[in-house]
Amino acid sequence: MSRDAPLVLGIETSCDETGVGVVRGEELLADALASSVDEHARFGGVVPEVASRAHLEAMVPTMDRALARAGIALKDVDAIAVTAGPGLAGALLVGLAAAKGYAVAAEKPLYGVNHLAAHVAVDTLEHGPLPEPAIGLLVSGGHSSLLLVDDLTGRVRPLGATIDDAAGEAFDKVARLLGLPFPGGPPIDRAAKEGDPAAIAFPRGLTAPKDLAAHRYDFSFSGLKTAVARWVEARQRAGEPVPVADVAASFQEAVADVLTAKAVAACREHGVSTLVIGGGVAANSRLRAMAERRCGAAGVALRVPRPALCTDNGAMVAALGAKLVAAGVPPSPWDLPADSALPVTTVSV
Ligand code: KG4
Ligand code: ZN
């Protein structure tokens, strides 16, 4: 990446991670993170007010760490990017207010960006320019979507999404049922390594022919979560031990199976030869392995960033910001609002 590629600082506060990243074009210079996840653990889910306060406390130190690690001063950046949505309203507001303050003080253009598009953009920091069109599979604690990405700086079309729980939410809820800590993805991933993925035939939501007709690229994980709950309860009622590793492996298998089957089908049916997977659940080892195998068989090039870039971070916001600057997209107005339900079709505000 040349020295004149845009130097962009990105701020992420949509959920429980305060992230500040610095990139030069597609080169990652710094990715500072402060997480309030431990403060939410005993509630079994993210508590919005707790997250907002934690962002407030972490913002300035995280910003200072990112600048120091990148070896730059704020005055050096070409632009500041910030997550404008979707996410928790109060949490987004903290990041947006900080970004506006820094941008005004340093007289830099400000880009309010879409968190979901940023989860796709982050992959460019690891694998270079994204071939377009690409199919994006976005799986996190709050979202599960299939996207047709014609142009990551402006034209992203939703093909489908979850009709109930997000994939990460299902991991978190099933972990709770199994007595595993929050967030549930990593401990289920670990427990599953010792289990048999074929031990229990859990349902694959929206894959029956009648469901596919109306929900070709949609997901549903609420029935799966209920099936796991019933199975576990039946064992407990019978006074038998719950085989945590087998339940974790079989549940994880069902999620990975549906996600990869629909993503590869979307590639095939839209004549697209690149699949990029992003979001916290993209850190899942079984999902990565299954996607690798199925994409290989279908002749689809698979791109999944390393796990640390899959979960929320500031570098992803900076990566999308740099693409917007390079494409000549105009910055956001100073009064840009936080939009907790920002549609994925709005890449920048
Ligand atoms: O993208 P992310 O950090 O935040 C949101 O935007 O939601 O995703 C967090 C979600 C959590 O539900 C967490 O359980 C899940 O990602 N997750 C995983 C793994 N690591 C994180 N799910 C499955 N396997 C993992 N290894
Ligand atoms: Zn996210």
The single residue listed with the structure tokens 């306060």 is: 53
User: What phi and psi values does residue 273 have, to the nearest 5 degrees?
Assistant: -110, 10
Q: Furthest-apart CA pair in the chain: how many Å? A: 67
Ligand nearest to the CA of 317: 2
CA–CA distance, 116 with 118 (Å, rounded to integer): 5
Query: Is the Cα dihedral 259, 189, 13, 103 positive or negative?
Result: negative
Q: What's the CA-to-centroid distance between 139 and ligand 1, angstroms?
A: 8
Ion ligand 2: residue ranges with CB closer than 5 A? 140, 312
The pLDDT of residue 198: 98
Residues with CB under 6 Å of ligand 1 are 15, 140-142, 168, 171-172, 183-186, 189, 279-281, 283-284, 311-312
Return per-residue pLDDT of the chain as tens, 349 residues: 455 899 999 999 999 999 999 999 999 999 999 999 888 888 888 899 999 999 999 999 999 999 999 999 999 999 999 999 999 999 999 999 999 999 999 999 999 999 999 999 999 999 999 999 999 999 999 899 999 999 999 999 999 999 999 999 999 999 999 999 999 999 999 999 999 999 999 999 999 999 999 999 999 999 999 999 999 999 999 999 999 999 999 999 999 999 999 999 999 999 999 999 999 999 999 999 999 999 999 999 999 999 999 999 999 999 999 999 999 999 999 999 999 999 999 999 9
Ligand nearest to the CA of 193: 1
Q: What's the CA-to-centroid distance between 115 and ligand 1, angstroms?
A: 14
